[in-house]
Amino acid sequence: MFRKLMGFRVREWLTPHIGIKRWMTLAVVGIGLSSLGFGLGMVQVVSTNWVWLPDEIYHPAIIIGLMIIGAMLFLYSAWRMIKNVLAPYRRLQGGQVIDAVMAHRRRQIGFKFVAIGGGTGLPASLRGMKAYTSNITAVVTVADDGGSSGRLRRDLGVLPPGDLRNNIAALADENSLLTQLFQYRFKEGDLQGHSFGNLFIAALANIVEQQHDAQKNSLAEALVQVERVLNIQGRVIPSTLDDVILTANLKLHGSSRTVKVRGESQIEKVEGVVETIEIEPENAQAYPASVQAILEADIIVIGPGSLYTSILPNLMVKGIADALRATDAFIIYVCNVATQPVETENYTVAEHVMALENHIGRGVFQAVLANNVYPIDTIGKTEYVLPAPEHHEILQRYDVHYTDLTDDERPWRHDTNKLATAILRLSGQGEITPIFTSTSKALV
């Protein structure tokens, strides 16, 4: 049993100069003194002194003193052993030990929350929900082929890390210097445009690939290591490990002509409107961990995020939509606050939902959450997504809920606190109170 508790490495634990052996010895001494005091006290109670001990030893002051000194020695040595054992982890964790213990405990309790999407929209769901649970899983698209992610994808053959990086940062302590380093983007030189976090993830994926000779799982294993380094509340996983390419059919402005564009980064360059999208290969398979997270979830949120380039590329992966239909979780589609050029120009909430149905069918989610507050001073500058027309058919199929979701400083985006509160209320968990820590207070 002792060997099992010590990890089958008793000899290593007793190695000199690691700060364990001396305190373990002192703890044994403390236990011995306390036991001796307790034994002498019991002898006094039954009135049968040990004849081989002088009578003075049975004085109550000596008995109590032995017990107190023994207890103090044991407690002090135990504290020193715990401190020495946790020292390497505190260097990685930072802050107080009790904060780490409480954070770990929260991961074991609370509802299971899954958010599906990508881009800059999905982090809004994650940041807001961190105050209520640590059982968070972000299922993120890997269809990006532009910017730093696209360059790494072409040069190194890794899946694009950009959307994964943004969501990892959302689940980390954003005030941490390490998180700021992770999000740092080089502004000049050969690395101009690259994010440090993208390079870090790509490098780890390559190291894992070389060690295990398994390219397909290298990104997933690299993400596990990144999550440990940043000590995030939850996990971020790709929807698929296949090399997915996004293609779109766009109707050109002022013409009935339709063009097909290959690559997510090329879509925004066309002066037209997206009609449909596809992914290549069509049979791209869902990452099993993503399917498992969906099946085990209590609440699932799709979005917010770009409809055609962040949300649908996940839902069109084989196995994701089926898992959403099979899960017992309450599923909410969060509509964007503002429309996007090329993708959703002039779209109302109804058009967003209809586009989802046209690509993946019905029965994937039960409710729709949308904004209905449009600050007067931003009208004309921001094209807001307006409510579905009265009596529209989606109102018969979904619980469509409107509320104020706008960020006061950036009204074209979601406010993380408002969004989290609305999600919990809509899912029937509105009575849950936030569990704030020194980390989460700075994030929401």
Residue 357 and residue 268 share a domain: no
Residue 428 and residue 374 share a domain: yes
The identity of residue 98, as a single letter, is I
Angle at the Cα of 173 from the Cα atoms of 167 and 177, rounded to 5 degrees: 105
Residue 190 and residue 89 share a domain: no
Residue 305 and residue 271 share a domain: no
Residue 308 and residue 444 share a domain: yes
Residue 200 and residue 341 share a domain: no
pLDDT of residue 402: 96
Domain annotation covers residue 175: yes
Segments forming the whole domain that contains residue 330: 95-141+281-444
- How many angstroms separate the CA atoms of 167 and 81, rounded? 37
Domain annotation covers residue 357: yes
Per run of 10 residues, the mean pLDDT along the chain (length 444 residues) is 50 65 84 84 65 63 84 87 70 56 62 92 91 91 87 85 91 84 88 89 85 71 86 90 93 88 89 93 94 96 94 96 96 96 93 96 95 82 91 94 92 93 88 50 29
Domain annotation covers residue 211: yes
Domain annotation covers residue 343: yes
pTM here is 0.76
Residue 437 and residue 353 share a domain: yes
Residue 180 and residue 150 share a domain: yes
Domain annotation covers residue 239: no
Residue 216 and residue 254 share a domain: no
Residue 127: which CATH number?
A: 3.40.50.10680
Domain annotation covers residue 293: yes
Domain annotation covers residue 169: yes
Domain annotation covers residue 240: no
Residue 38 and residue 28 share a domain: yes
Residue 105 and residue 68 share a domain: no
Helix, coil or strand: residue 106:
helix
Residue 270 and residue 124 share a domain: no
- 3-state secondary structure labels for all residues of 268-331: CCCCEEEEEEEEECCCCEECHHHHHHHHHCCEEEECCCCHHHHHHHHHCCECHHHHHHHCCCEE
* Domains in the chain, number: 4
